[in-house]
Amino acid sequence: MIARAAALLAVVAALAGCGSSSDGASGARADYVKALNSAQSGLASRFTKLGEKITPTSSAKQDRATLGAYETVVDSTVSQLRAIDPPTGLETLHRRFTAQLAGYGSAVRTARARITGDDPRAILAAQGDLQASLQRTGRQLNATIEAINKNLKD
């Protein structure tokens, strides 16, 4: 079930290219890109480590624990993003990006709360809802990342 969380990783990894510009970024913009890349790198690294713990035979208890670990990673990254002071013109996009990532954490929290036993139907329902939420969040994050990149290149 948790393997769907990797979808977010691909979206957030797009931040690594954020702000590359042939005419050079201002100091504030360069610092912003560096801070975003740092948050992305930490998230990617921790997601990769968690992904190694995922197996098709994991129990509901193990799934809950793994989802809890994902929550912690997302919450930490959201805190890191909230501490970033975006340059002028990027404040709204940065808040949107941070809120969207926080929404991902909420979806994981909801899925974890729904896996309370070993009922395969409940687990599959939680899995499906989490997958849909990840896809929706991925589309939102992609759009916001595109807008941030566009703003940084202008």
pLDDT higher than 90, residue 98: yes
Report how far apart, in Å, the C-alpha atoms of 7 and of each of 51, 127, 133 are: 11, 14, 11
% of the chain with per-residue pLDDT over 70? 80
pLDDT digits (tens, 9 = 90+) for 37-50: 888 788 878 877 77
Q: What is the rounded distance in angstroms from the CA atom of residue 26 to the CA atom of residue 87?
A: 9
Boundaries of domain holding 53: 2-153
Residue 32 has which token pair? Answer: 């912003």
* pLDDT the model gives residue 53: 67
Which position has the higher pLDDT, 71 or 23? 71
Q: What is the rounded distance in angstroms from the CA atom of residue 33 to the CA atom of residue 48?
A: 22
Please check whether residue 93 is in contact with residue 151, taking contact to mean a CB–CB distance below 8 angstroms.
yes
Number of folded domains in the chain? Answer: 1
Over residues 26-31, mean pLDDT: 82
* pLDDT the model gives residue 57: 76
* pLDDT the model gives residue 7: 40
Element (H, E) at 147: helix 120-153
- In sequence order, which residues have a C-beta less than 8 Å from that of residue 128 and are 6 or more positions away? none
Over residues 107-121, mean pLDDT: 83
Query: Residue 51: which CATH number?
Result: 1.20.120
In the structure, what pLDDT confidence band is assigned to residue 97 with cuts at 50, 70 and 90? Answer: very high
